[in-house]
Amino acid sequence: MSIESYPPVLRRHLGGRRRPEEEAEAMEEANPVPVIDLEVLGLKEEERKLEEACKEWGLFRLVNHGVPSTLLEELQGVAKELFALPFEAKEGACSGTVSYFWGTPALTPSGTTAITMNMNWLEGFDVPLSQLSHFNPHLPTLQSIRLLLIDYKTHLWRIATTLFEAMAKNLELDLKFSKPYLAENTGMVRVYRYPHYHDTNVGWGMESHTDSSVLSILNQDHEVSGLQVLKDDQWLTVKPISNTLIVNLGDMMQAMSDDRYKSVSHRVSINKQKERISICYFVFPGEDVVMESSKYKPFTYNDFRAQVQQDIKTLGYKVGLPRFHQNHDQST
């Protein structure tokens, strides 16, 4: 991969990299992540497994999800082609519909990320799926990924609604009332590239965080590991397995479940020898839908997002759900 394809802030580090050393032993060789079979989710035993995964992990591996393996592989392949383009081409090719970012997971505009030791080692594209029809890409590779995402988003929404309905049933939520908690027009995909680097102590591909979404669905590189999840105060590596998806719960699902379900903390490590591509789908409640919960003060996703952005600006990090807890003092 050409060094010219990386943003300048990463290029300066990567240009002086040494020959990769032998990769350190993985943090967790076993693969204990719960597995949910979407084909049999209507069965009581599978619903019980889903309930346990949501409570104990906040994350699970999805099999028999109905997304063609060829589509998953094509998305990964086109993403690699896209990231291989010169940095300047990627930066100049995006319109207001699709944004290109680096150094943070799209929390600050491109080019404004402070160059610090805490910088995330990543670059990516932010694609609102409801805007794909208005997306007029200036690069053939962007056009290729747009066409694939038009197909992919149909599968993503099917999976998200199927899982959400099963979770709502387990939580004994009124589905008619809670349905706006998952809004198709909020769906977005972020395509990430994490560079490899000889010294994994330089930082994280993405630092520890929880997602603000209801659900996040990840198509991760099936050859390169990196995703780690916090379980019982221990970080475990989520091994990549071909033709499976990783689903994790976000802050909105934890709130609507009255903390019965977990918004899982996760992070991404840097690989010493290979770069890593991941494609993640996020879906949220309607922006003005009021989240009602016995644990939290009523809030909309608009309120939540504004508070997260304010905290990042003033504190340098996301506080998230604790800001809206019934007992939280907003002055702190």
What pLDDT score does 23 carry? Answer: 37
Residue 330 has pLDDT above 60, yes or no: no
One CATH from 3.40.47.10, 2.60.120.330, 2.40.30.20, 3.40.50.2300 for 3-298? 2.60.120.330
What pLDDT score does 327 carry? Answer: 80
Q: pLDDT tens, 50-86?
A: 999 999 999 999 999 999 999 999 999 999 999 999 9
The torsion angle over the Cα atoms of residues 81, 4, 209 and 187, rounded to 10 degrees, is -40
Which of 19-23, 119-123, 160-164 has the least mean pLDDT?
19-23
Q: pLDDT category, 31, cuts 50, 70, 90?
A: low
The β-bridge relationship of strands 266-268 and 227-231 is antiparallel
Identify the helix (H) or strand (E) that includes residue 94. Answer: none
Instruction: Report the mean per-residue pLDDT for the chain.
Output: 86
- Block residue for tokens 């694609």: 127
Q: What's the rounded mean pLDDT across residues 128-134?
A: 88
Tell me which residues are annotated as active site. 276
Q: pLDDT tens, 237-281?
A: 999 999 999 999 999 999 999 999 999 999 999 998 899 999 999
Number of H-type helices and E-type strands within the chain: 8, 14
What pLDDT score does 90 carry? Answer: 87
Contact status, residue 279 vs residue 216, Cβ threshold 8 Å: no
SS3 129: helix
List, in sequence order, the alpha helices (H) in 171-291. Answer: 175-178, 251-256
Q: pLDDT category, 328, cuts 50, 70, 90?
A: low
Q: pLDDT tens, 153-200?
A: 999 999 999 999 999 999 998 867 777 899 999 999 999 999 988 887
Higher confidence at residue 40 or residue 20?
A: 40
What pLDDT score does 11 carry? Answer: 73
What pLDDT score does 112 carry? Answer: 39
What pLDDT score does 159 carry? Answer: 98
Residue 292 has pLDDT above 90, yes or no: no
Higher confidence at residue 27 or residue 272?
A: 272
Cα distances (Å, whole numbers) of residue 205 to 74, 177, 200, 208, 315: 23, 38, 9, 10, 21
| Domain-wise residue ranges, the chain | 3-298
